[in-house]
Amino acid sequence: MKNKLNLNLLLLVFVGVIVASCSKNDSNTPTPSPAPAAISIVGNWKFAKDTLVQYNTNGSVSSVDATGPSDGFLNLKADGSYIAREDLNTTENQTGTYTVSGNQFTMYEPRYDSKVTFTIKTLNEHNLVLFTEQFGTPGRRSTYIEYFTR
């Protein structure tokens, strides 16, 4: 009987030690990882190519893929200004300002008083793809997709 009492006492002490070593602060909830940093559009992008598709009034469609000049670029600065060279017919740089709102990227070039809004189709560490649609004479429209890498 004394052995049974000692065994019960030993078991009670053992259970007490286990319960006392548990903490109320323990949690099975994992610590959340920080959210990945958003990819910034700011930086120097190398012009890769553009695709122009024209939808004509007679129903015909024409498509042109053009590779940019080997030194074509789009340099988007943090202050909202840009310098670009993507015209195949000139070595002259274009300058202006830009804004980004959601997936809308708008460029303004004061030299021609022109503003173009693109939809950002792809933006990651290495690629920027911009899409825009423009309407010309009644019944005619053009779409442009511009591809950049860095």
The CA distance from 3 to 5, in Å, is 5
Model confidence, pTM: 0.69
Per-residue model confidence (pLDDT) at position 97: 97
- Confidence check: pLDDT of 72 > 70: yes
pLDDT at residue number 50: 87
Residue 126 banded pLDDT, cuts 50, 70, 90: very high
pLDDT at 138: 77
User: What radius of gyration do the chain's Cα atoms show?
Assistant: 31
- Residue 118: predicted pLDDT: 96
Question: Residue 68 pLDDT > 90, yes or no?
Answer: no
Burial category of 84 from C-beta neighbours within 10 Å (exposed 0-12, middle 13-18, buried 19 and up): buried
Half-sphere exposure of 42 (CA within 13 A, CB side): 7
Domains annotated for the chain, with CATH where assigned, are: 43-149 (2.40.128)
CA gap 93, 95 in Å, rounded: 7
Q: Using one digit for the tens of pLDDT, what is the confidence trace for 77-112? A: 999 999 998 766 667 889 999 999 999 999 999 888
Question: Are the C-beta atoms of 150 and 47 separated by less than 8 Å?
Answer: no
Burial class (CB in 10 A: 0-12, 13-18, 19+), 8: exposed
For residue 15, what pLDDT is reported?
42
Per-residue model confidence (pLDDT) at position 38: 76
- Of 3-12, 27-36, 79-88, the one with minimum mean pLDDT is 3-12
Higher pLDDT, 89 or 13: 89
Rounded to an integer, what is the distance from CA 84 to the centroid of its chain? 20
CA 81/CA 78 separation, integer angstroms: 7
